[in-house]
Amino acid sequence: MDGTGDRVALITGASSGIGRAAARKFAAQGYKVALVARSQERLEETAAEIQLGGGQALALAADVTLEADIERAVRETVMTLGGIDVLVNAAGIISSGTIESTQLADWDYMMNLNVRAPFYTIQCALPHLTAREGSVVNVSSVTGIRAFPGVLSYCVSKAGVSQMTRCLALELASAGVRVNAVCPGVVVTELHRRGGMDEGAYAAFLEHSKSTHPMGRVGQPEEVADLIYFLASPEAGWITGANIPIDGGRAQTCAR
């Protein structure tokens, strides 16, 4: 692993938001990147942008809730790009709901995409990560370390991601594989829109979020991508099992 030119990053959720920003960050640092998401069209747009900048990107349309799609994405990444040094699990969804209003099917889908999918992706990629003493970075959330009302299944799913991160860090340390997570506050992405917010509600939510984040603003995907890259880099070589808030201080406050 001398230099980044031969290193490979596999990134889920790479068609938008934090996943896309992470793909661009790793590519800019010389990594070959495998981009995984459901939309082939959006993946190809990201891949074309990376290639225009001189990078190498592989667009792999896949639904990470499907085992066969995860297996195929890992297999094609290794066959085409030569291995896996870094796995970034950024695919995820959010939806509102309480114990009274959350439908069981919605709960199951949340757990499948936010928890089961990264678990199985890590499991499939593990032989390749071990071969290169690689690194996993999961995208959790401030809701994975603090409780918030009205987003029950999302909070529980991200708490699962954070606990999985800690457990896997212990299990994989002896193999030289580090596992960490970033825990963003509100970041300007497609997440909330895809969770059901219309444009007016989303604009109001972003404005309100200025008051719930002590630093007085929401975050940008590129800020989270910078932290993801650091955690995957040799400079973070003695960090594992960390769930690092990147939230403008949101985790230090009470719900309001």
List the catalytic residues: 154
Phi, psi values for residue 94, rounded to 5°? -135, 150
Nearest Cα neighbor of 50 from 21, 73, 74, 78 is 21
Measuring CA to CA, how many Å separate 34 from each of 57, 70, 144, 209, 225?
Answer: 6, 12, 27, 33, 16
Distance CA 141, CA 53 (A): 31
Contact at 8 Å (CB) between 36 and 12?
A: yes
| Count of other CB atoms within 10 angstroms of residue 103 | 11
Q: What angle do helix axes 104-111 and 152-172 make, rounded to 10 degrees?
A: 30
| Count of other CB atoms within 10 angstroms of residue 2 | 6
Contact at 8 Å (CB) between 73 and 43?
A: no
Residue type, 12: T
- Strand-strand pairing, 57-61 and 86-89: unpaired
Half-sphere exposure of 139 (CA within 13 A, CB side): 35
